[in-house]
A and B are shown apart, each in its own frame.
Chain A
Amino acid sequence: MKSINFIFRIHQRFNLKHYAFFDIGNDHYYYDDYANESAMQATVENNCLEANRTLLEMIRSANGKFKVSFSISGLALEQFEQFAPAVIDSFRELAKTGCVEFLATPYAHSLAALYNEQEFVEQVTLQADKIKALFGRKPTVFANLALLYSDEIGEMVAGMGYKAILVEGAKHVLGWKSPHYLYHHINNPKLKLLVRNDKLSDDINYRFSQWQWDQYPLTAEKFVKWVSAAPAEEKVFNICMGYEALGLINSRSSGIFDFFKALPMFALEEGITFALPSECVERHKPIDVLSSIHPVSWTDEEKDISAWCGNELQQEALGKLYSLADRVHLCSDMLLKFDWLRLQDASHFFVMATKHYSNGKIYAQPIAYESPYHAFINYMNVLSDFMERVEAQFPSSVENEELNALLKTIYNQEKEIAQLKKKASQLKETRSKGTQK
């Protein structure tokens, strides 16, 4: 039986405020709260609440036969908690139906997977804990931001104990293979790979309200026909996109919600079911390996990482940022950690891309910068201030290793003191016992 997996990615871009170089060293608050809150409100009103309601209704009216999963970044969850707690409640309600799965993803929607393994592991753990705390279940399947994947990332994810990872069905990785099967990692057969169908996903995400498209309008019936037209052996259809496809990229008036509402009926009629990634992983056996030495993602035509680290601006910014990673890991300053996560948001680097200029991209939210150069300068000014703060905690005159050794000594001393204290109290106890005797 064929099954469709709907997976929605949710992330809210963190807008930095205009931060001039005069502010470096004077102002340590980097965020444009107004922009963040109003963007959040637009998302909540047009997208999240209504989409959640629609999905909940679909699950109920299909008697639990409709299933859907989410990959929500930790920063987005924090923003929901701060500005729109109603959204968290509606996700909780969805979670209660048992037809919803939450996937693991890096907490800060960051590129840490490419730059710093320790940071990556920490963020994924943080994210999983947050999901557990909010929705009661730990994720078992991993989906990176924009489905960023390479063999190396696969290994890291497997090392954390995840059994499956969602990857992009990029042509140069798949080759002649079909995305409708399960694959496994090249070195680790235990890590299964679910492949996104980019054509069907983008049909809904980008082309649904494009009247120039030769298949316009897309109806539920037509969509289901495409799925059922695939050979009978092909079982898994992973349709994965940003949640803003429902209500923002495709507005309410485009009929996107009605399209979704009509889907279960047509699908069930054709004998197509809906599933969760974890179910698919258990139900099907991988048929082959899938390997990519270079990272692949779902962005643009190139399906690579050039949207975030394609030009020198981005490389410089990312390089400078992650050169701080080791030092930030050593420190325990809460505020510093707070900013550290926010500065890693991949969308900061996305807006610095110079390759996008004229290809008429569809953005769910307008970009706050006039040009990639403006974006770069603003980010670098903020980062300069952040670097100064890290520097103030750990001067760069002290080598990382030396610092590490010192911190270790302190840590060990503390441990030793604790041990000795314990010993002392034990001895006291035995002595007092002895005197009692």
Chain B
Amino acid sequence: MKALMFGWEFPPHILGGLGTASYGLTKGMATQSDMDITFVIPSPWGDEDRSFLQIIGANRVPVVWRDVDRHYVEQRIGESAENYFRFRNGIRYDFRRIGTDDLGCIHFSGRYPENLMEEISNYEAVGSVLAHVLEFDIIHSHDWLTYPAGRFAKHISGKPLVVHVHATDYDRSRGRVNPDVYRIEKEGMDAADHIITVSNLTRQTVIEKYHQHPDKVTTVHNAVEPLDFVNTLVKTPRKDKIVTFLGRITMQKGPEYFVEVAARALQKTQGVRFVMAGSGDMMSEMIRLVAKKGIADRFYFTGFLTGRKVYEMLTESDVYMMPSVSEPFGISPLEAMIAGTPCIISKQSGCAEILENAIKTDYWDIDVMADFIHAIVKYPALHRTLRKNGLDEIANIKWEYAGEKVRDIYNRLT
């Protein structure tokens, strides 16, 4: 089974959960012996792990014919030009309206720039070239940015299209949907032969807001990669307990509820400190709110953390809190559990559907969350039990299982 996947991010250079999920899922699927995955991303850095799949950078795929010789190409891209000439044979449409370089390739930022819509349509052009050249049995598009490319590839090749909904615009905007984004999402889902959602919550949104037939939508919950350096993470003994928020400080993640909870808990509980890690458009607002509540002496901002730093922060924490207003899945509580940190998560998160040994509340229920923080600080058995059961549970949430479910869907379609 050969799968052509369109993605937007791939570790180690990631901006959000999408990259983590793409990596985990493809790695989990690669354990199936007959699975052959080609993963397209806009702009690879070159240090991606290519041991279990083939990565194609969209910025190395020519979309406009240029008469260049092999030597020149090799000099320019610094690697074998084999693929370049293979892909060049796939150019069937006139894309000269797009700005290209001397090799006929498009520049991609690979991020979420101002001209995102333009990048998405350029990516679509790359998709068409690849669809003409590559051999594959199924097309798999990760998130709305890649739906147009997937659709185009399906149109050209006639192969079935699976779109993977990691988030919808309803989650990102708390309901105030951008019509352009909605159009791209809806068109992608309409064209898809099957839709994979990361949680039942998202599945419901897809069915209700995007009017998809329920039979066409399947939930495949995300999982988490085991950490190879988990034994090197050590918690520094402290007198005070630490409660951590970790993620983008944006509307979707509900950071203001975290501040409210902190203020409420600090009214009656001593010996607890709060940390908000990450950055985002609501950060300065949060700093103001903390000052207004008068809890700045016990509330800290760390800024954006990556890689090992994330796990170090999680290990140092006694509680990880994710009061997301709307979270399609939310891998970070799973990461916290791997680090052995108990979690308080909102019921409005997709991961709440699969986690048993985490505390689940409504994101707005400040009193209950404060109560839990008090309990974890005051009753040590709670922390120990949550930690132990959480570690046991997380060891059984594997990407391989998610990969098997995706494979079942492939098998049904081909």
Q: Do A and B bind each other?
A: yes
Chain A residues within CB distance 8 Å of chain B: 20-22, 311-313, 315-317, 354, 357, 370-371, 373-374, 376-377, 380-381, 384
Residue in chain A with minimal CB distance to B359: A373
Cα-based distance from A158 to B268 in the complex (angstroms): 49
Chain B residues within CB distance 8 Å of chain A: 267-269, 356-357, 359-360, 367-368, 370-372, 374-375, 378-382, 384-386, 388-389
25 CB-based A-B contacts, threshold 8 Å: A20-B367, A20-B368, A20-B370, A20-B371, A21-B268, A21-B269, A21-B371, A21-B375, A21-B378, A22-B267, A22-B371, A311-B385, A313-B385, A316-B379, A354-B357, A354-B385, A370-B360, A371-B359, A371-B360, A373-B382, A373-B385, A374-B359, A377-B372, A377-B375, A380-B379
* A311 neighbours in B (Cβ, 8 Å): 385
Majority SS at the chain A contact face: helix
Q: Which of A354, A357, A370, A377 contacts B379 (CB 8 A)?
A: A377
Q: Which 5 A-B pairs have the closest CB atoms?
A: A316-B381, A377-B375, A21-B374, A312-B381, A20-B371
With A21-B268, A21-B269 as known contacts, state yes or no: A380 contacts B375, CB within 8 Å. yes
A376 touches B379 (CB 8 A): yes
**Minimum Cβ distance to chain A for residue B272 (Å):** 12
Cα-based distance from A317 to B378 in the complex (angstroms): 12
A313 touches B359 (CB 8 A): no
Cα-based distance from A432 to B97 in the complex (angstroms): 131
Residue in chain B with minimal CB distance to A25: B268
Cα-based distance from A313 to B375 in the complex (angstroms): 12
With A312-B384, A313-B385, A371-B360 as known contacts, state yes or no: A381 contacts B367, CB within 8 Å. no
A22 touches B367 (CB 8 A): yes
Majority SS at the chain B contact face: helix
Cα-based distance from A373 to B381 in the complex (angstroms): 10
Residue in chain B with minimal CB distance to A355: B389
Residue in chain B with minimal CB distance to A24: B268
A381 touches B371 (CB 8 A): yes
B389 touches A354 (CB 8 A): yes
Cα-based distance from A374 to B356 in the complex (angstroms): 12
A373 touches B386 (CB 8 A): yes
* B360 neighbours in A (Cβ, 8 Å): 370-371
Cα-based distance from A143 to B371 in the complex (angstroms): 38
Residue in chain A with minimal CB distance to B392: A354
**Minimum Cβ distance to chain A for residue B280 (Å):** 30
**Minimum Cβ distance to chain B for residue A68 (Å):** 41
Cα-based distance from A381 to B382 in the complex (angstroms): 13
* B382 neighbours in A (Cβ, 8 Å): 313, 316, 373, 376-377, 380
**Minimum Cβ distance to chain A for residue B271 (Å):** 13
A377 touches B356 (CB 8 A): no
* A312 neighbours in B (Cβ, 8 Å): 381, 384-385, 388
**Minimum Cβ distance to chain B for residue A257 (Å):** 38
* A373 neighbours in B (Cβ, 8 Å): 359, 372, 382, 385-386
* B379 neighbours in A (Cβ, 8 Å): 316, 376-377, 380
**Minimum Cβ distance to chain B for residue A78 (Å):** 29
Cα-based distance from A239 to B344 in the complex (angstroms): 45
Cα-based distance from A133 to B272 in the complex (angstroms): 53
**Given A22-B371, A354-B389, 9 other A-B residues pairs in contact with their CB atoms under 8 A:** A20-B367, A21-B378, A22-B267, A22-B268, A370-B360, A373-B382, A374-B359, A381-B375, A384-B378
* B356 neighbours in A (Cβ, 8 Å): 357, 371
Cα-based distance from A377 to B381 in the complex (angstroms): 10
Cα-based distance from A354 to B385 in the complex (angstroms): 9
* A21 neighbours in B (Cβ, 8 Å): 268-269, 370-371, 374-375, 378
Cα-based distance from A315 to B388 in the complex (angstroms): 15
**Minimum Cβ distance to chain A for residue B348 (Å):** 15
* A376 neighbours in B (Cβ, 8 Å): 375, 379, 381-382
Residue in chain A with minimal CB distance to B267: A22
Residue in chain A with minimal CB distance to B342: A373
Cα-based distance from A384 to B374 in the complex (angstroms): 12
Residue in chain B with minimal CB distance to A383: B379
* B386 neighbours in A (Cβ, 8 Å): 373
* B371 neighbours in A (Cβ, 8 Å): 20-22, 377, 381
Name the residue among A315, A354, A376, A377 with the largest chain B CB count within 10 angstroms. Answer: A377
* B367 neighbours in A (Cβ, 8 Å): 20, 22
Cα-based distance from A373 to B371 in the complex (angstroms): 12
Cα-based distance from A313 to B368 in the complex (angstroms): 19
**Minimum Cβ distance to chain A for residue B80 (Å):** 52
Cα-based distance from A419 to B356 in the complex (angstroms): 65
Cα-based distance from A317 to B380 in the complex (angstroms): 11
**Minimum Cβ distance to chain A for residue B7 (Å):** 34
